[in-house]
Amino acid sequence: MSQAQAVPADWAQEFHQRLARSTIPGLDGIRALAVMLVIASHFGFESVNGAFGVLVFFVLSGFLITWLMLKEVDRTGTVSLRNFYKRRMLRIFPAFYAFWFLAVGITLVRDHPIHWGQAISSFFYVSNYYMALVPTGSALFGHTWSLSIEEQFYMLWPFLLLLGYRHLPRLARILAVAVLVVWIHRTLCHLVYGVRLEYIYRAFDTRMDHLAVGRLLAVLLKIGTLDGFARWVTTAQLVPGHNAAVVVRRAATARIDDVHIRHRLCDRASARRHSPDPGDLVRGHRHLAHG
């Protein structure tokens, strides 16, 4: 079955119109959840997987940056590197360098030691490799490793996209191979070469597959390869989110005489002259659930 036969044209058109909007609220929600996972982990909740939140953030970043650039290609026929880096600098540099100088200044005024290797590496967005190679217990700039990975991604990906945006199916194949290569590379580093886990966790070459997955998703959505899957995800009865929505909708619209049901339970209990049987309560809850 062809893609055109599998997905109705009107659905595909509306789907891509939604993706073409300036913001995609669903992705903002996922990003907020990822940030909350990281924050909860840093607050000491050991059961919360903050590393998964970072992974999700990388995938989203790869997707959103690629999607924005593909939209720019639709509008202008190319990607302006000048405008891209201008937007990135205005978005990241003011807040980051304000934090950097404030953190260093306060630390010096309070006469506390500064791990200058970590501070300088974070200033130039290479702290991920510094912390991967040099053991340090300093937490002042410890969180900047993920920002360094993002900046390294920004330095490379726009040039690669410019080389491949005219042949998106081929670019998708290249990205899929890149993901597989990084998986193999990371596995060899861990199992064969005994590379420190700190390096595997923080280095760009061992984490770039997460960004590549996001880039691949953007390209596949752009060429329509994932339209059938997207339609199934948003309409299938077996999707947990859909089932939850159905349950909430039924609970909100069901007309249940709760008082009447409680009286029935009490009548049964009185007739049997004993305390309420748990079985009756279970049956009563089932009645409430099914309306």
**249, 96 contact by CB (below 8 A):** no
Structure tokens at 226: 């994932």
Walk along the chain (291 residues) and give the pLDDT tens digit of each residue.
444 445 787 887 888 888 888 788 788 889 999 999 999 998 888 889 999 999 999 999 999 999 999 999 999 999 999 999 999 999 999 999 999 999 999 999 999 999 999 999 999 999 999 999 998 877 889 989 999 999 999 999 999 999 999 999 999 999 999 999 999 999 999 999 999 999 999 999 999 999 999 999 999 999 999 888 888 887 765 545 445 444 434 433 333 334 343 444 445 444 444 444 444 434 444 443 444
- What was the pLDDT predicted at 144? 95
- What was the pLDDT predicted at 263? 45
**21, 68 contact by CB (below 8 A):** no
Please tell me the distance from the alpha carbon of residue 216 to that of residue 222, in angstroms, as a whole number.
10
Please tell me the distance from the alpha carbon of residue 249 to that of residue 7, in angstroms, as a whole number.
27
- What was the pLDDT predicted at 254? 39
> 199: alpha, beta or left, given left = phi > 0 and alpha = psi -120 to 50?
alpha
Which residues 6+ apart lie within 8 Å of 141 measured at CB? 100, 103, 115, 118, 119, 122, 127
